[in-house]
Amino acid sequence: MQNRFLYFLLPGLFAFLPAAPGVSPHSMPHPEFTLSHNQFAFRLLDAVLAEDTSNSNKLVSPLSLYLTLGMLCNGAAHETRDSIIQAMQASDLELASINGLCKETLQQLPLEADQAQFSIANALWYNRRRLTLVPDYQQLMETFYYAPVQPLDFGSKMAAAHVNDWLAQNTQGEITHILDATQPTDAMILLNALYFKSSWSTPFEPSDTYWEDFSRNHAGDVSAHSVPYMRKHQVVRTFSDTSFTMVELPCGQDRHFALYALLPQDQSRSIGSWMSTLDPSRLNAALDKMTPQYLDLSIPRWTCDYSIGDGLAVLGLLGMGSTFQ
């Protein structure tokens, strides 16, 4: 069984972007990293759904948080370090192994392909008026996480603008703001920026778009809303059992990425309840059983803007509660 590497998770439509099965194994993340990260991805999604029970769509990037926790872990010790590693689902790995696997993954991710753009960047700023950074830590960040470590005057009015400018540059202008201001008492900022943009390998034709009612009755909302649907007739890889139906939609001409859309069979069941039945091994088993079928495929066209309201609460549910006491 081949483990696929999850980049994103979006419940509701529930989608994620793994490297396509046809990609060379030499360009895939290491199996140990894949296992730890994918277990973390499901734990993270469970925690987000538990913390935010609204009917809104949720969009999270487990890879971003996993790498950020890896950087944070290198600056921690004792119980704090143990809680971070536990939250990362990496208790079986030494910290040196985590660092090496993160570096290997950043090196091997298919960062650019025809008609697809994917970039990921890390950065660290420390308050030069409060901290003196240990040289070994700076070397670890730059060597294993490719994260430039920069001193910054957190009391300056321009400090937040400096961080926001870095973010805008590394998300192609899609995210331009994360900080209103910094405080002189702040010690450090760790930041990850992930950007992905791609065309479908087989595009949806705009002329085939149609409008129809969409009801989120699976989330307890029985009201219907008229929304545009993307539609096409083509052969796609599919899987179906008594729990869910899944289709694969490759991205880019080289198909290094794919979106997988999962639709629960029992649409009256909440996403959180349904997600409790799913884990990486079951998902991988379903991916291995996908077969080509000719479908009349319709998917609601959507946009999603999401931010986690209480990040500390989510991290607490992952096992890091003692870190913030």
Q: How does pLDDT run across 42-51, given as a tens digit for each residue?
A: 999 999 989 9
Predicted local confidence at residue 305, as pLDDT: 85
Predicted local confidence at residue 55, as pLDDT: 77
Q: Which amino acid is at 79?
A: E
What secondary structure letter does DSSP report for 35?
H
This prediction has a pTM of 0.89
**Average pLDDT across the chain, whole number:** 85
Answer whether residue 251 shows pLDDT above 60. Answer: yes
* Cβ 258 vs Cβ 250: under 8 Å: yes
CA-wise closest residue to 278 among 62, 21, 42, 55: 42
Q: Per-residue pLDDT tens for 253-292?
A: 777 788 888 888 887 888 888 888 888 889 889 989 999 9
pLDDT tier, 87 (very low <50, low <70, confident <90, very high otherwise) = very high
Compute the distance between CA of residue 152 and CA of residue 222 in angstroms, rounded to an integer. Answer: 51
Q: Which amino acid is at 83?
A: S
Neighbour-count burial of 277, counting CB atoms closer than 10 A to its CB (0-12 exposed, 13-18 middle, 19+ buried): exposed
Tokens representing 289 are 């059983």
pLDDT tier, 322 (very low <50, low <70, confident <90, very high otherwise) = confident
Predicted local confidence at residue 2, as pLDDT: 47
CA-wise closest residue to 115 among 4, 200, 52, 204: 200
What secondary structure letter does DSSP report for 13?
T
Q: Per-residue pLDDT tens for 129-160?
A: 998 889 999 999 999 999 999 999 999 999 99
What's the whole-number mean pLDDT along residues 41-69?
A: 90
Beta strands in the chain (DSSP E): 112-113, 116-127, 149-152, 188-198, 210-215, 224-240, 244-251, 257-264, 291-300
With H, G, I as helix, E, B as strand and everything else as coil, classify residue 124: strand
**Angle, CA of 287, 268 and 220, to the nearest 5°:** 120
Predicted local confidence at residue 5, as pLDDT: 62
Compute the distance between CA of residue 13 and CA of residue 58 in angstroms, rounded to an integer. Answer: 10
